[in-house]
Structure 1
Amino acid sequence: MRSLARILRSASALWPFYLGVILTSIVVAGLGLVSPFILREATDTIVAAVGGDVAAGSVTRTIVLLAVGLLIADLATTVMTNLGGYIGDVMAARMRQILSTRYYAKLLALPQRYFDRQSTGTVIARLDRSITSVTQFLQSVSNNFSPMVVTVIAVLIITGWYYWPLTILLASIFPIYMWLTAKTSVKWQALEAEKNEQVDLAGGRFAEVVGQVKVVKSYVAEIRELATFGGRYGRTVKTTRGQSRYWHQMDSLRGGAMNLIFFGIYLVLFYRTLHGYFTLGDMVMLITLVNMAKQPVFMMSFLVDAAQRAIAGSRDYFNVMAEDFEPTANQQLIAATESSDQPALTDHAPTPLPVTEPVIGFDGVSFSYEEGEPVIREVSFTAARGQRIALVGESGGGKSTLVNLILGLYQPDEGSLEICGRDVRDLSAAQLRASVGVVFQEASLFSGTIRENITYGRPGATDAEVIGVAKRANAHAFISAFPDGYDTVIGERGLRLSGGQRQRVAVARAMLKDAPVLILDEATSALDTRSERAVQAGLEELMVDRTTLIIAHRLSTIADVDTIVTLENGRVDEVGSPAELATSGGIYSQLLALTASSDAADRKRLKQFGLVSDIPAEDDPEDSEEQL
């Protein structure tokens, strides 16, 4: 229960709702207690009239008034119950808003390492399960259980006033029930964790398959994926059998204990009424009160089950919230993870750093994703303003790792890395990434319009600025050909555009960002020859007056760079101009020879470097300039 209490404390802004739930619960409980007393008076009055102690006509008005009193109490109870339910529903919705926002803010502020070991589906499944289970439990408590708890306390006080052994019997239900529940809890939660693991794995794979459904279909893997997915949920069914069997066995013990105690309560009431200690009206009232206390006990099984799910779910939530922040995370994000209310966020495009030499500077940089397994070792090179640097080396040789370091997704283990003359350790994530533009091999567009994607880095850009960068990126013509132009909705990941179109939109997006440092990470490797030429024209415009780091898939695309840095086994092998390295006998000169060859073995060797032959490939007709 500490997890639930921690959530309630963290959402302290909801205190008016907590207070509202408590007050309405007290009122509902009080109104509920009116009925047993009215029933007592009505019973004793009717018994007296039937027994001839009073004339029936003389008490008719009294009986009518008592019935009206019951009606008023019931109507008031209905109104207050629904008012409390409304407060509880809004409280649960606000709780979901706060917890979801804090979770999202935490994810956005986590380092890249966290996402390297998670799948998207798992992250989403944890959010849904954790917060849904907590909010559903709170709704149940506020709408149903809170009034009943107040009622039980009042019933215990009233029965103690009439006959204290009744209170002892009634009160004994709760510790017995909770003791048996505590014995159930540990095993139940362990089994629930096993189920959650399978659900997370299934959800993660589900998200991957949906996101790459073309690959699944092209490899005729639908049945295999479905079998794996169903198998994971099959394992949850197997676990549920044992979990549910155990739970209901213990619940039968709880229910049996409660049945025995209520047997004793009814026996005491019947005996004392029979021997004149209670009037018939007293007995009716006390039975009604006892049954009012009985309902929360019956509901306790459901609420304990909901509480167990909430506790298990909140554990996943707090595990994520306990992760360390990215060292350079935005302070607004960090504050949002601790806010007990909807945070006030100020979204503004950060200003790039002033260009100072070296614009890019690696000095003895070493880095490893896993401790003891270095990917790059003592890398040193610099890039000046307006200079174009190409990285060449085998796949897995550290080229993309250097890009990740420049983007601040990871910090160097050793050495120093400078961007615009500033050590990246002294920069916030916003300062660093505002100064670096990037065009990846995959365009990575968002669902929405073309305009929204181009302005992603500068949401306040004018139409003239958007059109200007689109023209320079060689994208304006095909965008204008669409019926809705720049307001064309392109679908998830921009799948309604061809590969070349998506990449030109990405180039326009990078142009509009206008960062002094540019990274081209195999930006044209996935395109056919015609689309590559169109995109390359846009890239040439983009590189003007920028310091550019290029990872290319064809050596011909880096023939005009200023400097080539070759990497071998994570170390810098050579640094020099294309002309110098072409005759040095090193990696670059060897690759030039391989590129000119049509031999199958040479082509295979090229692929180890992530390169393809410069012999043009045929255009892909599916990547043509077709409209939506």
Structure 2
Amino acid sequence: MARPRDTSKEDLPKVKITKESIKETLLIYNYLKPYRGTFIAGLVFIALSSGTMMGFPYMLQKLIDSAHGTPKPPFAFSPTTIALIMVALLGVQMIFSFMRIYLFTYVGENTVSDLRQDIYKRLITMPMNFFGQNRVGELSSRISADANQIQEAVTGLLAEFLRGCLIMIMGMAYILFINFKMTLLMLSVVPVIVVIALVFGKYIRKMSRKAQDQLAESNTVVQETLSGIANVKAFSNEWYETGRYRKNISEVVNMSIKNSRFRGLFVSFMLFSVFGAVTLVVWYGAGLMQAGQLSFGDLTAFVVVTAFVGGTMAGFAEIFSQLQKTLGATQRVRELLREQVEDVTVTDTVVEEQYRLRGNVTLEHVKFSYPSRQEIQIIKDLSLNARSGQQIAIVGPSGAGKSTIVSLLLRFYQPDSGRILFDGRDAASIPLSQLRRQMALVPQDIHLFGGTIYENIAYGRPNATLEEVQNAARKANAHEFISRFPEGYNTTVGERGIKLSGGQRQRIAIARAILKDPVILLLDEATSSLDSESEALVQDALQNLMKDRTSFVIAHRLSTIRSADQILVLEDGRVRESGTHHELISIEDGLYRNLNKLQLFEG
């Protein structure tokens, strides 16, 4: 059973940190350039924040020594004065920390916003072949999970890394200044703790991913069961699905409990190690105090700074893990940004006079195979000629290449050989946006967006007025049923138009095409899945739509194309027969005649 890809942050794949992978990541930071002033200011506040943080244990040392009557220059002040200085220091630290977080968040949000827009613009300008080779879920994760990971790197990972490095450098310098021997003792313990923490942490993350995968499997069971609930009940298999879910959940529980043992052992070990190291350092420091080589304030400051340094070193393990994920996310985004896109505009296109079509379409000896299936030739030498305003019907058995012709006319794909001409001009000489702006497609499987009816009809011309949308709906026989809704044109259609019937969706799609006012119209079995009443309304709307336009009609029901100016009968990627309905029906043992007889018999 296939498991859906979990694109959560925890499951993002990691890559090795190499020179090339770091180079890839640095290229993403080009998006930082518009905000480099703010970014540099953030770096300054990181340094100031780290400096004031390390100033706190220094002042704590002075406070304790002053309280014990052993103040040291240059701050030989009273305990009250030093305490006030510490409060002021904390206030300044608070301001610096706020500015650091705010500035890096500002840079990160804007940087990733620009990146997301580029990714999205890249996605919608990809050729159709790209979408045939990539899953939509994988592509959407580039904008969601991968971009989020990059955002965290900009806003948090980089800042924490730089801050950690500064704390490490200043902290090590400070404890070396306090006492060299104690520093060596501390350094001999910390690496052991860090190494063990890395080993335990890696194993725990591995166990967590397994538990998450198993939980995803149980969620798949829920999704499959609920989406197919009619089958579950028809076969009386509630008991089976309950058992299947119970088995998956039990495995999740077992994995989680097993993981908790290791996490408990890890936490217990870390607590023992950290406090054991602190005890060792304090014990050694107490001996130095008795020998008069160390003050109580020095020992306190040493312990506090050691805790800062140890915590920072432990945090580097998580930073390293997040860096690996960021490198992986960056590589996938960069791969997408390097993909070849279609030459289309991403601004509202107005048809230029030099590219305005009259509607004459010619296909000359076209051959075509889909890029993902080069060994199977779908179109095998196809020629046709459609004059402006003609209705061209295309019929034939499944797999004959009918829908492929529509894709080729829209230039979703390029023919392997042969030419497609519009008004005698090679299709390749007409910019894609200029060409598609003058064409409209009404497919069999209508896709409506999740907004209102008005927004879906206006998709044909987004700047259309309400009156223009209503006029288009009237011509599509849609205005009457739309007006019956309480909210009229502001009615929400639901995801993919689920709140509307098939006939209603078709008429909204036709209204959308009417509003676009295309020169060339493409109808891909627009009535094949409708009942008789809906078909009659939709067919009448299609007749309104096809007036004075060059129309290519892929038809399943031959009764709908009897008035076509030319009927092409395809078989195995070639035109087997062509002519009007009366011409084709008179051909003895003709394919069209046999298809017509078969449909009459089925009816």
- TM-score bin, normalised by smaller chain: 0.7 to 0.9
Match of 1:46 in 2: 67
Q: 1:363–1:417: 8 Å Cα contact kept in structure 2?
A: no
Picking from 450, 474, 479, the partner of 1:476 is 479
Q: 1:140–1:303: 8 Å Cα contact kept in structure 2?
A: no
2: CA distance between counterparts of 1:107 and 1:6? 19
1:375-524 equivalences under 5 Å are 375-524=378-527
Picking from 34, 45, 49, the partner of 1:28 is 49
1: CA distance between counterparts of 2:568 and 2:463? 38
After superposition, the Cα gap between the structure-2 partners of 1:12 and 1:201, relative to the gap in structure 1 and judged at 3 Å, is: farther
- Please give the root-mean-square deviation of Cα atoms over the aligned residues, in Å: 4.2
Q: 1:358–1:384: 8 Å Cα contact kept in structure 2?
A: yes
After superposition, the Cα gap between the structure-2 partners of 1:405 and 1:483, relative to the gap in structure 1 and judged at 3 Å, is: same
Q: CA deviation at 1:508?
A: 1.2
Q: CA deviation at 1:270?
A: 4.1
Q: Deviations over 1:108-162 (max 9, x none)?
A: 1222233334444444455433233343455443675543432221112223334
Q: 1:564–1:575: 8 Å Cα contact kept in structure 2?
A: yes
Picking from 62, 75, 81, the partner of 1:65 is 81
Q: 2:349–2:437: 8 Å Cα contact kept in structure 1?
A: no
Match of 1:365 in 2: 367
Q: Deviations over 1:202-253 (max 9, x none)?
A: 999999999xx5xx34444897999999999999999989999999999999
Q: CA deviation at 1:66?
A: 0.8
Q: 2:32–2:107: 8 Å Cα contact kept in structure 1?
A: no
After superposition, the Cα gap between the structure-2 partners of 1:574 and 1:257, relative to the gap in structure 1 and judged at 3 Å, is: farther
1: CA distance between counterparts of 2:249 and 2:156? 27
Match of 1:18 in 2: 39
Corresponding residue SS for 1:456: helix
2: CA distance between counterparts of 1:559 and 1:455? 32
Match of 1:625 in 2: none
Corresponding residue SS for 2:368: strand
2: CA distance between counterparts of 1:432 and 1:190? 52
2: CA distance between counterparts of 1:226 and 1:428? 57
Q: CA deviation at 1:413?
A: 2.1
Q: Deviations over 1:243-294 (max 9, x none)?
A: 9999999999999987887677556544444433333332222222222222
1: CA distance between counterparts of 2:435 and 2:242? 43
Q: Which amino acid aligns with 2:501?
A: S
Picking from 142, 145, 158, the partner of 1:129 is 145
Q: CA deviation at 1:69?
A: 0.8
Match of 1:97 in 2: 113
1: CA distance between counterparts of 2:307 and 2:255? 36
**Higher mean Cα deviation, 267-276 or 518-527?**
267-276
Picking from 580, 591, 597, the partner of 1:593 is 597
Corresponding residue SS for 1:152: helix
**Higher mean Cα deviation, 279-288 or 67-76?**
279-288
Match of 2:557 in 1: 554
Q: CA deviation at 1:551?
A: 0.8
After superposition, the Cα gap between the structure-2 partners of 1:498 and 1:569, relative to the gap in structure 1 and judged at 3 Å, is: same
Q: Which amino acid aligns with 1:365?
A: K
Q: CA deviation at 1:82?
A: 2.5
* 2:298 corresponds to 1:282: yes
Q: CA deviation at 1:456?
A: 0.6
2: CA distance between counterparts of 1:572 and 1:523? 22
**Higher mean Cα deviation, 412-421 or 451-460?**
412-421
Aligned residues with identical type, % of pairs = 27
Unaligned runs of 5+ in 2: 1-16
Q: 1:366–1:412: 8 Å Cα contact kept in structure 2?
A: yes
Task: Report the TM-score when normalising by structure 1.
Answer: 0.77
Q: CA deviation at 1:41?
A: 2.1
Q: CA deviation at 1:470?
A: 1.9
**Higher mean Cα deviation, 581-590 or 6-15?**
6-15
* 2:313 corresponds to 1:297: yes
**Higher mean Cα deviation, 229-238 or 367-376?**
229-238
After superposition, the Cα gap between the structure-2 partners of 1:331 and 1:188, relative to the gap in structure 1 and judged at 3 Å, is: farther
Q: Which amino acid aligns with 2:84?
A: V
Match of 2:573 in 1: 570
Q: Which amino acid aligns with 2:130?
A: Y
2: CA distance between counterparts of 1:83 and 1:380? 68
Corresponding residue SS for 2:468: helix
1: CA distance between counterparts of 2:109 and 2:249? 29
**Higher mean Cα deviation, 78-87 or 375-384?**
78-87
1: CA distance between counterparts of 2:132 and 2:331? 21
Q: 2:452–2:492: 8 Å Cα contact kept in structure 1?
A: yes
After superposition, the Cα gap between the structure-2 partners of 1:304 and 1:503, relative to the gap in structure 1 and judged at 3 Å, is: same
Q: Deviations over 1:384-411 (max 9, x none)?
A: 2111111111112211111122222222
1: CA distance between counterparts of 2:330 and 2:249? 22
Q: 1:364–1:414: 8 Å Cα contact kept in structure 2?
A: yes
2: CA distance between counterparts of 1:294 and 1:10? 34
2: CA distance between counterparts of 1:432 and 1:76? 62
After superposition, the Cα gap between the structure-2 partners of 1:555 and 1:185, relative to the gap in structure 1 and judged at 3 Å, is: farther
Q: 1:366–1:415: 8 Å Cα contact kept in structure 2?
A: no
1: CA distance between counterparts of 2:25 and 2:249? 28
Q: 1:25–1:84: 8 Å Cα contact kept in structure 2?
A: yes
**Higher mean Cα deviation, 302-311 or 238-247?**
238-247
Match of 2:11 in 1: none
Q: CA deviation at 1:549?
A: 0.6
After superposition, the Cα gap between the structure-2 partners of 1:463 and 1:83, relative to the gap in structure 1 and judged at 3 Å, is: same
Task: Report the TM-score when normalising by structure 2.
Answer: 0.80
Picking from 131, 135, 144, the partner of 1:115 is 131
Q: 1:43–1:281: 8 Å Cα contact kept in structure 2?
A: yes
Q: 1:375–1:398: 8 Å Cα contact kept in structure 2?
A: yes
* 2:370 corresponds to 1:354: no
Match of 2:14 in 1: none
2: CA distance between counterparts of 1:205 and 1:435? 46
**Higher mean Cα deviation, 351-360 or 453-462?**
351-360
Q: CA deviation at 1:561?
A: 0.7
Match of 2:340 in 1: 325
Q: Which amino acid aligns with 1:73?
A: L
**Higher mean Cα deviation, 516-525 or 378-387?**
378-387
1: CA distance between counterparts of 2:56 and 2:70? 21
Corresponding residue SS for 1:42: helix
Corresponding residue SS for 1:391: strand
Match of 2:3 in 1: none
Corresponding residue SS for 1:377: strand
Q: Deviations over 1:438-465 (max 9, x none)?
A: 1111221112222211111211123332
Q: Which amino acid aligns with 2:309?
A: A
2: CA distance between counterparts of 1:231 and 1:99? 43
